A and B are shown apart, each in its own frame.
Chain A
Amino acid sequence: MGQADFTYDFRSMNLLQQDPSQLLDNSDFVSQSILAMDADWAAQRLGEIRTLMERSSLYRRALAPTATLTGIIGMAAGVIGWTLPVKTSSGFCLYWMVTGILSLLVSILMIRRQAWKDNERFWSPPTRRFIQAICPALFAGACLGVIGTLHPQVSESYLWNLPALWMMFYGCALFSAGFFMPRGIKLFGSIYVLCGCISMFHFTTEALNQTLPRIVHAHIVMGSSFGILHFFYGVYLYLTDHH
């Protein structure tokens, strides 16, 4: 785009002093040409803005497929864990940590592929900020999982609180990432924190009443929270993508 494109003054256009609704009726060949020229320029400028915003943000176009696929992995893991069944405490922790790592790897690969397709850098400043924002909370969540894996003798109530705590930590990670990402990530994170709090309250009450369900049902809690929420967030992103 040449320099002239950026110095164009709309006030110099006589046709713009008129009501745009009457523009077509009153216009002659010249005014229509000017309008067409400026429409080209405006479309180009809109394209530039879109490209700049997409490049500087964290591969928003990859968010919808990533969230949807993570949701599918989560739901599948919930059903598999429940049917197999993975019922020891260390097995439960290990199983869900492996699922989490698998989801993370799939997400990174998809985002990397999107960056490669768009001829953009993967390790860009927004990506760096995003990773820095999610790391502390994810690390804390991972530590809880490692404790559960290494100590098979942990109580049942610890295991039942684990999904709730993971939801809270994951929600906090997403909320932090929301400072660098648009499109409702903060709200998505808040929903996780809220779900975590509700689960914690519910399962603590159940533990106190000694009415906790068998540990195998915790897979359903994990699958429905991490699977279904991600899946619906991905669908929401698909539906609102044109914005």
Chain B
Amino acid sequence: MKTETFSQINKVIHEKGRMAIMSTLAANPEMSFKELKESLGMTDGNVSVHIRTLQQAGYVIVSKTFVNNRPHTSYRMTDQGLQAFNEYIDLLEEIVRLNRDNQ
């Protein structure tokens, strides 16, 4: 593993709330705002703020539609987001592996 990659942990995903959202979206191709909120036990504000950051980073796509005349917001992880999430996990695994080799 290259030193540059090792030292550059993804700060966007690294935050606990955003990591939880990314983990959930990695396991579910699409989730609504309500489902995401219920699954993670987060407040409306928390979900909105973290989703905005993930959206700005290009990791999440937000779709707004109407279901039964009510606004329905759903979220999906982008390919870029999936790649970043996989790299984040690879980095964590590398840290664990490196420590194991050292012991």
Contacts of A18 in B (CB 8 A): 3
> Quick check: B29 and A179 within 8 Å, CB to CB?
yes
Separation of A24 and B102 alpha carbons in the complex (Å): 6
> Quick check: A39 and B19 within 8 Å, CB to CB?
no
Separation of A20 and B52 alpha carbons in the complex (Å): 35
- Say which size band chain B's interface belongs to: 35 or more
Q: Is B61 an interface residue, CB under 8 A from the partner?
A: no
> Quick check: B99 and A125 within 8 Å, CB to CB?
no
Chain A interfacial residues counted at CB < 8 A? 35
> Quick check: A56 and B24 within 8 Å, CB to CB?
yes
Interface residues of B (CB under 8 A from A): 1, 3, 6-9, 14-16, 19-20, 23-24, 26-31, 35, 38-40, 89, 92-96, 98-103
Contacts of B30 in A (CB 8 A): 179-180
Separation of A77 and B19 alpha carbons in the complex (Å): 46
With A20-B1, A35-B98, A180-B29 as contacts: A52 and B16 at CB distance below 8 Å: no
Separation of A126 and B23 alpha carbons in the complex (Å): 14
Separation of A91 and B38 alpha carbons in the complex (Å): 46
Contacts of A10 in B (CB 8 A): 6-9
* Contacting residue for B39 out of A35, A124, A180, CB 8 A: A124
Distance (whole angstroms) from the CB of A20 to the closest CB of chain B: 6
With A18-B3, A20-B1, A126-B28 as contacts: A52 and B20 at CB distance below 8 Å: yes
Contacts of B103 in A (CB 8 A): 36
Distance (whole angstroms) from the CB of A118 to the closest CB of chain B: 14
> Quick check: A42 and B7 within 8 Å, CB to CB?
no
Distance (whole angstroms) from the CB of B27 to the closest CB of chain A: 4
Distance (whole angstroms) from the CB of A184 to the closest CB of chain B: 14
Q: Which of A7-56 contact B (CB under 8 A)?
A: 10-11, 13, 16-20, 23-24, 27, 32, 35-36, 38-39, 42-43, 45-46, 48-49, 52-56
* Contacting residue for B27 out of A20, A39, A45, A53, CB 8 A: A53
Select from chain A the residue with minimum beta-carbon distance to B23.
Answer: A52
